[in-house]
Amino acid sequence: EPEVTQTPSHQVTQMGQEVILRCVPISNHLYFYWYRQILGQKVEFLVSFYNNEISEKSEIFDDQFSVERPDGSNFTLKIRSTKLEDSAMYFCASSLWGTSQETQYFGPGTRLLVL
Amino acid sequence: AQSVTQLDSHVSVSEGTPVLLRCNYSSSYSPSLFWYVQHPNKGLQLLLKYTSAATLVKGINGFEAEFKKSETSFHLTKPSAHMSDAAEYFCVVSDRAGGSQGNLIFGKGTKLSVKP
């Protein structure tokens, strides 16, 4: 069964450094998402992406964050200058049409620790 | 605004006994509701979803959930727990009405422990 993959599984970085989290969505899907879960808190929506553009973003997704689909398979989340509070599990997801009734398929997550 | 509340952060059952994980939702329209499960070091996996068809929804691994509009609930049940059911379970609502592009709103999760 096709699945969403994410790399790396764990990343440790120093505050102020840039990080890039990578995702490979399911190949025929058109909508891509990033969510994050700070330890002990809810999973929160960050951004959705369609047709090489951001469809929606939450208030969390400020100028420090960016997303890109650099080629036909990868979908990346970049944090330009990491802060301590960016430490979280980051989940990538994809869906075919992006409708509210549709299943979003999630990757296993990248655990980011900012020191 | 749409939201979900998972009433229990941790539920512990014995193997072979029923499982009940509770979820209440708030929505200004007919919601799409989902239950996802996360096993350690694994991604979020869809168990089942409700999208305004049958109110009793059957999912994978023997789980089911019933949409009760009058109670604004979408509780997850399983008649007989298995050791492999130990995981974290998330009740999720879509933030838009059906057909429009939607993003997901998660509950805080319920950690299910299964004792031998």
Taking the Cβ of residue B59 and every Cβ of chain A, the question of whether any pair is shorter than 8 Å is answered with no
Nearest to B47 by CA among B58, B62, B33, B36: B36
* Closest chain B residue to A50, measured at CA: B101
Residue A18 per-residue DSSP state? -
Which of B4, B101, B105 should be substituted to probe chain A, the one whose Cβ sees the most A Cβ atoms within 10 Å? B101
Q: What is the pLDDT of residues B59-80, one digit of tens each?
A: 999 999 999 999 999 999 999 9
pLDDT in tens, A38-51: 988 889 999 999 99
| Domains defined along chain B, listed by start | 3-115 (2.60.40.10)
Average pLDDT over residues A25-47: 93
Say if residues B49 and B98 touch (Cβ distance below 8 Å).
Answer: no
Question: Distance, in angstroms, between B19 CA and closest chain A CA?
Answer: 22
The predicted-structure confidence for A74-107, as pLDDT tens digits, reads as follows 999 999 999 999 999 999 999 998 888 888 999 9
pLDDT of A71: 87
CATH superfamily of A5-98: Immunoglobulins (2.60.40.10)
Q: What are phi and psi of A69, to 5 degrees?
A: -115, 90
Is-contact A76 A70, C-beta < 8 A? yes
pLDDT at residue number B99:
61
Mean pLDDT of A6-31: 96
Up-side HSE of residue B97: CA atoms within 13 Å toward CB? 3
The CA distance from B73 to B91, in Å, is 10
3-state helix, strand, coil in chain B (%, to 5): 5, 55, 40
CB contact under 8 A, A99 and B105: no
Considering chain B, what percentage of its residues have pLDDT values greater than 90? 72
Find which of B52-56, B103-107, B112-116 is predicted with most confidence, using mean pLDDT.
B112-116
**In this structure, what token pair is assigned to residue B66?**
């019933």
The pLDDT-based confidence of B11 (bands split at 50, 70, 90) is very high
Q: Does B41 touch chain A (CB under 8 A)?
A: yes
Tokens of A107: 């990757």
CA-only gyration radius of chain A, Å: 13
DSSP A22: E
B47: nearest Cα among B6, B16, B78, B15 = B78
pLDDT of res. B49:
92
Tokens at A92, concatenated: 């990538």
Is the CB of B43 inside 8 Å of chain A's CB atoms? yes
Chain A residues with at least one Cβ partner in B under 8 Å: 3-4, 6, 9, 31, 33, 35, 41-45, 48, 50, 55-56, 91, 93, 98-109
The pLDDT of residue B29 is 78
The mean of the pLDDT values for chain A is: 93
Q: What is the mean pLDDT of chain B?
A: 91
Contact at CB, A101 and B99, closer than 8 angstroms: yes
Look at the alpha carbons of A50, A51, A57, A61 in this order and tell me if their dihedral is positive or negative.
positive
User: Quick count: other Cβ atoms within 10 Å of Cβ A7?
Assistant: 14
User: Does B24 contact chain A (CB < 8 Å)?
Assistant: no
Mean pLDDT of B26-37: 88
